Amino acid sequence: MNVTPPVNEPRERQVATLVMACLGMFVAYLPVTTVSVSLPAIQAALHASSSELTWVQSAFQLPMAAFILTAGVFGDVHGRKKVYLAGLALAGAGAAIALSAHSVEVLWIGQACAGLGAAALLPSTLALISHAVPDPRKRATFVGLWAASLMAALAVGPMIAGVILDHTTWRWIYLPTIPVAVLTLAVAAPLVTDSRAPVGRRLDWPGQITAAVAITALVYGVIEGGAGSFTEGRVIAALTLAAVSIIAFVVAERRSSSPMLDLSLFRSPAFSATTLIAMITFLGLIGFFYVLSLYFGLVQRLDTLHAGYRLLAVCVTSLVVGPLAGRLMHKIPPRVMITTGLLITTGALLSLTSIDAGTGFGPLAWRLGLLGLGLGIVITPMTATAVAAVPHHLAGMASAGNNAFRQVGGVLGPAVLGTLLTTKSTDALPDHLRDVGLTGPTAHRITDVANADGLGAVAGMDLGKDTGRALGALSESFLDGIQLCLVVAACLALLAALVGAVLLRTPQRATTPVAGAADQTAPEEPETFAEVESEPVLVGARARGGSERPGPRVGVSGAATGGDTVIPDGGSGPMLYGRVRDAAGTAVEGATLTLISSAGRQLGRAVAHFEGRYRMDAPGAGSYVLIAAAEGHQPQASSVVVGDEPLAHDVLLSANHGLVGTVITAGEGTPVEGATVAVTDVRGEALAAETTDALGAFAFGELPEGDLTVVVNAAGFRPAALPVRVFGPQLARLDVALWPTAVLRGAVRAGDDRRPLDDARVTLVDKAGNVIGTATTGPDGEYAFTDLDAGDYSVIASGYPPVAVPVAVDGPAIEFDLELTHPKG
């Protein structure tokens, strides 16, 4: 269900949230390319092996992938703003540690700390945008700019590193992150509005532990297996532990009452597809940057600055295309954009396989620009589709889940492609040494160094007059490895394109009208960001196939076992079969279907099982009523006319419309517990009511579709009444801000003994002279004005000669006594 609430975040607040989110993404991703292009310098300065160099990248990516889900849940529970600010602090601290590193181990620690910061920033920034901009159409543009900030960090990172390395040592590449993180932290603290999930959640420690162990063990096994051998005991143990931990994670999440990653999210084809695409794409992308930086440094012998501006061709193109892709999502289906972008990426990667040591900037630039075009088309719709495919209140979990799988791909990218590069290059090195005339002890010495310390160590060897030929052989070996990596990356992009084409596709089906459903055909594409389409209607079409002999009998219940093939069950009557789906096309397993006669007599019953398939027998040819019901969905009744042949009849169940939200104080944003929330229809009839919990959250599970009114009342606050429109396949959301009110009370007294004055008239006037209210004192002389806004007022009391006294109302309850006297003669 979607909602267009009248009280959105103000435009200025939305822009401020977007700017802070983009700066957070910039801080999170800046270390990716600044470190990538600086790897040769880091390796030379710290004398790191190829395996240790791979861990420099993985030390950042690993905690990002392992803890990003925890960060998403923590933000849902304790507030996304807090997680965002903590991420900025960790990113700055990690950069400071890496800046002071004098060994590769300390550098790993700094990278890991920065990776933790990035793990906090990625889900929190996207969830803050989702909360600030609930309209999916506007949100798509904001997500496009968010994705552009990611590419901006990747674009400027190489240039920053290049300028720094031209003037000083590698460690200073971490300096720019520190002031950006600190300044963003200082500005965001008072500016960003906090948000959290409207329903109570808690941290899922079994899920977190098993996920972290699985990711760590998997990456360790891949990196160490590539550096040594996959048959080593420790590598086999690590990969086995990863497999066991993955199984344990799935079991833990299925049993958890508050899962870190709700596995039911993967029932959404759009979420599943974009998550898988993100993982595959980033495996190739981050691995490609890792391999390309080594190509520039060890094959073309470029310094970091010249390598950096070559990478700009990828990042700047993607930076420009990203926001444009966000606007095009309203006109072009996400499946078309994602698949097209990935096919362009595949072509660009294959075109790069023709590069060699002498390839100039011109021939390289158009290939890298084509790669940036493909990535720019993919990233924005991929991210926006994943967030929009789930209920709004699960934005933190959805963005964290999508980013987690993306980072798993990112952390495996350098590990997998680095392993392929090292293995292929090392295997090819002896042949290329032989081609340039280096054999015997010299060749053995070179290959021994390559096997022990990595190919980068060969570039630093002093071989006298043989140095030039050895470096030439090394370059050719690297090119062999790079070409293999590019082919693998292209295959991964093509696989992702196939995933997008298949899983993001909603097959078009013929439809026939049924009672209670609009007479329209289901759209071919899942519309996620633009206008909400009318719900598709039930499908009833005769299937072609062999008929069964008719004969009277009672109904037999059953369920299809898979596929669309009709499987006779030995009965003699015509068969009714099909699928039960919801409005999003997702199978509704467990739905109950009942076949009744026109007189109301039950004739058959079936339960939908795998993929929502059902099958039942009718007593004979004729007209019947089929009733379908499932938990969380509105029941549907439809007329079916059964002939002598099996009848295919698909059923569409509309989800129960629901409304969730929070009640907070205006300005401070703190939850209001115990507020009464009531929902009425357009005629003013009450539909439902409940009170908010400790988090200020409320939820209504079953509401009619259409325009409703939400009335909120809480002690000490001004009541609020807001219209809300409930429609579409997702839960509607409405967050209500209540303004606190004040009470002004006191007593009117007179005489030397200050006795209470009965029947005195008290008038309250605001600063502009408007009468706010009047009151008449009782025997106790007391008066009271309630439901006041903070501000300056004047209190006028009469009965004796009138008295007008100014009073400032600046708290919840103000006591103000008045004293009347006769004038002295």
User: What backbone phi and psi angles, to 5 degrees, belong to 158?
Assistant: -60, -35
Contact (Cβ atoms closer than 8 angstroms) between residue 591 and residue 614: yes
Give yes or no: residues 636 and 688 share one domain: no
Query: How far is C-alpha 79 from the chain's CA centre?
Result: 16
Q: At what angle do helices 334-351 and 467-503 cross, to 10 degrees?
A: 160
- Among 138-142, 306-310, 527-531, the range with the most confident prediction by mean pLDDT is 306-310
- Note the pLDDT of residue 13: 67
List of E strands, 285-404: none
pLDDT above 90 (res 347): yes
In sequence order, which residues have a C-beta less than 8 Å from that of residue 599 and are 6 or more positions away? none
Tell me the pLDDT of the chain averaged across its residues.
Answer: 76
| Residues 780-799: tens digit of each pLDDT | 888 888 777 777 888 888 76
Q: Which of 738, 765, 785 is the last residue of a domain?
A: 738
pLDDT at 742 over 70: yes
Whether 491 and 619 map to the same domain: the answer is no
Residues 464 and 375 in one domain: yes
Please, is 797 exposed, middle or buried when counting C-beta atoms within 10 Å of its C-beta (0-12, 13-18, 19+)?
Answer: buried
> Does 46 share its domain with 185?
yes
Cross-strand partners of 582 = 653
Q: Which amino acid is at 6?
A: P
Cβ 668 vs Cβ 631: under 8 Å: no
Strand partners, 766: 793
Give the ranges where 436-512 is alpha helix by DSSP (H).
440-453, 455-459, 467-503
With respect to residue 535, please indicate whether it lies within any of the assigned structural domains.
Answer: no
Tell whether 556 is covered by a domain. no
pLDDT of 173 over the 80 cut: yes
Q: How many CA atoms lie within 13 A of 358 on its CB side?
A: 1
Amino acid identity, position 304: T
For the cut 90, the answer to whether the pLDDT of residue 507 exceeds it is: no
Sheet containing strand 803-809, strands side by side: 771-776, 761-766, 791-798, 803-809
What is the pLDDT averaged over residues 236-241? 92
CA-based max dimension of the chain:
128
Of 221, 236, 257, the position where a domain reaches its end is: 257
Max avg pLDDT among 272-276, 339-343, 374-378: 339-343
With a pLDDT cut of 70, the percent of the chain lying above it is: 80
Spatial neighbors of 85 by CB under 8 A, at least 6 apart, are 185, 188, 189
pLDDT at residue 538, as a whole number: 30
Q: How far is CA 1 from CA 75, 265, 665, in A?
A: 23, 16, 26
pLDDT of residue 447: 81
Residues 373 and 305 in one domain: yes
H/E element, 808: strand 803-809
Closest to 375 measured CA to CA, from 291, 293, 277, 296: 277
Q: What is the DSSP letter of 525?
A: S
Length reported for the chain: 825
CB atoms within 10 A of CB 312: 19
pLDDT in tens, 449-463: 777 766 667 766 777
Among 416-430, 501-515, 532-546, the range of highest mean pLDDT: 416-430
Please list, in sequence order, all residues whose beta carbon lies within 8 angstroms of the beta carbon of residue 554, skipping any fewer than 6 positions away. Answer: 603, 604, 619
- pLDDT > 80? residue 1: no
583 and 624 co-located in one domain: yes
- Nearest alpha-carbon partner for 591 in 576, 602, 579: 579
What per-residue confidence (pLDDT) applies to 394? 58
CATH of residue 617's domain is 2.60.40.10
Within-domain flag for 537? no
Q: Per mean pLDDT, which range of 149-163, 237-251, 480-494, 604-618 is the poorest?
A: 149-163
**In this model, does residue 708 exceed pLDDT 80?**
yes
Q: Which stretch of DSSP H or E encloses residue 823?
A: none
525 pLDDT higher than 50: no
In the prediction, which pLDDT does 218 show? 84
| pLDDT for 568 | 39
Residues of the chain above pLDDT 90, percent: 7
pLDDT in tens, 396-434: 566 667 777 877 787 777 778 877 888 888 888 888 888
Query: Which residue is it, tokens 């970091």?
Result: 304
Judged by DSSP in three states, 602 sits in: strand
Query: Structurally, how many domains does the chain consist of?
Result: 5
Give a yes or no: residue 561 inside a domain.
no
How many CB atoms lie under 10 A from the CB of residue 327? Answer: 13
Asked if residues 118 and 87 have their Cβ atoms less than 8 Å apart, the reply is yes
Cite the beta strand spans of 477-588 per DSSP E: 539-542, 557-558, 575-582
Q: What is the mean pLDDT of residues 195-223?
A: 77
Q: Are residues 57 and 153 in the same domain?
A: yes
Output the pLDDT for position 633: 73
Examine residue 409 and state whether it is found in any structural domain, yes or no: yes
pLDDT tier, 6 (very low <50, low <70, confident <90, very high otherwise): very low
CB 221 within 8 Å of CB 238? yes
Same domain, 151 and 135: yes
What average pLDDT does the segment 192-215 reach?
Answer: 75
CATH number, domain of 301, equals: 1.20.1250.20
Cα–Cα distances in angstroms (integers) from residue 652 to residues 422, 617, 624, in the given order: 54, 20, 18
Categorize the per-residue pLDDT at 205 as very low, low, confident or very high, splitting at 50, 70 and 90: confident
Cα→Cα distances 381→135, 139, 247, 335, 336, Å: 16, 11, 31, 9, 10
pLDDT at 343: 93
How far is C-alpha 348 from the chain's CA centre? Answer: 28
Banded pLDDT at 825 (limits 50, 70, 90):
very low
Q: What range does the domain containing 229 cover?
A: 204-257
In a domain, 91, yes or no: yes
Q: How far is it, in rounded angstroms, from Cα 330 to Cα 218?
A: 39
Token pair, residue 686, equals 């009450």
Residue 295 DSSP code: I
Last residue of a domain, one of 605, 633, 655: 655
Is the pLDDT reported for residue 560 higher than 80? no
Q: Which has more confidence, 612 or 143?
A: 612
Tokens of 800: 């004796």
Predicted TM-score (pTM) of this structure: 0.53
Query: What confidence score (pLDDT) does residue 546 get?
Result: 37
Residue 506 confidence (pLDDT) above 70: no
Quick one: 726 and 701 in the same domain? yes
Instruction: Give residue for tokens 């009942």.
Output: 594
Pairing label, strands 761-766, 755-756: unpaired
Summarize pLDDT for 73-126 with one digit per residue, the tens.
Answer: 788 778 888 899 999 999 999 999 999 888 888 999 999 999 899 888 887 887
* In a shared domain, residues 721 and 620: no
Q: Which two tokens stand for residue 19?
A: 């700017």
In a domain, 532, yes or no: no
| Residue-level pLDDT at 395 | 55
CB 290 within 8 A of CB 36: yes
Which residues lie closer than 8 Å to 768 by C-beta, 6 or more apart? none
Q: Looking at the structure, tell me whether residues 713 and 768 fall in a common domain.
A: no
Domain assignment of residue 589, yes or no:
yes
pLDDT at position 744 over 90: no
**Pair 813, 743: CB distance under 8 Å:** yes
Among 799, 743, 671, 746, CA closest to 195:
671
| Range from 131-140, 160-169, 269-278, 540-549 carrying the lowest mean pLDDT | 540-549
The answer on 371 and 482 residing in a single domain is yes
Contact 188, 380 (CB under 8 A): no
Per the structure block, which two tokens stand in for 370?
């084509």
